[in-house]
Copies of this chain bind each other. A is one copy, B any other.
């Protein structure tokens, strides 16, 4: 169990949060639970920076991605899905799963969307129900300009749906300022809570669509049921993962104590040090420079190096890195620097990477760890 998780989720969970989870279960229909639950939702709203209705559901990030679309779609509805990686693609798959029509705006993996392209499509196709975008594309280590896209979408009828699963609490997200109608996140990434909970915000504009949607199907992910129970009782309609709520509440305390701005700056610095360290060693970064994520860094395996690198990192050095997804499998590796990750974790990771790369006969150019130290000294 003594593994250092440098994954783009789940991330290291602080002991205080793990122990909060181990408290006895209480009834989910009790006043005590309503108080804890409401408090957790209020804290999450502060992190989303929103006045919109916010719900916490038991499920993965995919559950709230599904929920975002399930509640607004009718068959044949058009959704503009911005795709820069695996999770952007997932939104399109969800649209199709409800027999909607996904209009795919695709970019090369590792790149980011151009807001002007979004505008062009919204001008051309007048009946687009929603635009989906993944803020931080975990699969590629690239991020999308969600603020700028929001500036465009707000002038159309389309709802603006943003996945901040691997960015909220690590990169700058402001639901209200960015005009996000439905924003979704997960507990196990930058928030540094255990996996199993997911958050979703719903704007007035989104409620108008949801309330008019008589063609909605499904039960567990029905937003109206969540709203009814929360408004009336500060509870969920179906039994929530009580202990995970304890944990998320504590994890959100830690986020708010640090302050969102400080937290984003910390993530930016970790990203900068990681990127500089890798490049110093002679490793090429994968994501395009202007698109690079501050919560996950992706890098290409140099010639002669493959997933064996991750195996050495894991087995010999107990540091867990992620590989590539889909067509990038075996071609890139990904380092998550999210949540409570700090200088020592980055320096340990870069140091061990140097050892592991040498073991694989890759000639490490400069000292990545020294480069990173310089950045941390700034």
Contact B58 A196 (CB under 8 A): yes
Return the CB mask of A242-274 against B: 1 if under 8 Å, else 0. 111000000000000000000000000000000
Is there a chain B Cβ closer than 8 Å to A220's Cβ? yes
Given known pairs A97-B218, A217-B218, A219-B93, the reply for A10 and B22 (CB within 8 Å) is: no
- Interface membership of A194, Cβ < 8 A: yes
In the docked arrangement, what's the CA distance between A25 and B244, Å? 13
Check: A3 CB closer than 8 A to any chain B CB: yes
User: Would you call the interface of chain A mostly helix, strand, loop, or mixed?
Assistant: loop
- Closest CB-CB distance, A369 to chain B, in whole Å? 24
**Residue among B19, B29, B196 making CB contact with A244, cutoff 8 Å:** B196
Copies in the complex: 2
Asked, given contacts A238-B63, A239-B61, whether A25 binds B195 with beta carbons under 8 Å apart, the answer is: yes
Q: How far is the CA of A67 from the CA of B63 in the complex (A)?
A: 13
> Is A170 on the interface with B (CB-CB < 8 A)?
no
Task: Considering the complex, give the chain B residue whose CB is closest to the CB of A192.
Answer: B25
A25 to B11, CA, bound (A): 8
Whether A63 contacts B70 by the Cβ 8 Å rule is no
CA distance A22 to B65 in the complex (A): 28
Tell me if B239 and A241 are in contact (CB < 8 A): no
Residues of B within 8 A of A5 (CB): 25-27
Q: Does A115 contact B (CB under 8 A)?
A: no
Whether A23 is near chain B, meaning CB under 8 Å from some CB there, is yes
Residues of B near A241 (CB, < 8 A) are: 58, 194-197, 241, 244
Interface residues of A in 1-39 (CB under 8 A from B): 1, 3, 5, 7, 9-13, 18-19, 21-30
With A217-B98, A217-B99, A241-B241 in contact, do A26 and B9 touch (Cβ < 8 Å)?
A: no
Complex A-B, nearest 9 residue pairs according to Cβ-Cβ distance, in ascending order: A196-B241, A60-B238, A62-B238, A22-B22, A66-B220, A60-B239, A97-B219, A18-B22, A66-B219
Contact across chains for B23 and A10 when beta carbons are under 8 A apart: no
Is A320 among interface residues, defined by CB-CB distance under 8 A?
Answer: yes
Residue contact B30 to A239, C-beta cutoff 8 Å: no
A296 to B30, CA, bound (A): 18
A188 within 8 A of B: yes
CB-nearest residue of chain B to A3: B26
Task: List CB contacts (< 8 Å) of A65-107 with chain B.
Answer: 65-67, 70, 93-94, 97-99
Contact of A219 with B94 in the complex, beta carbons under 8 Å: yes
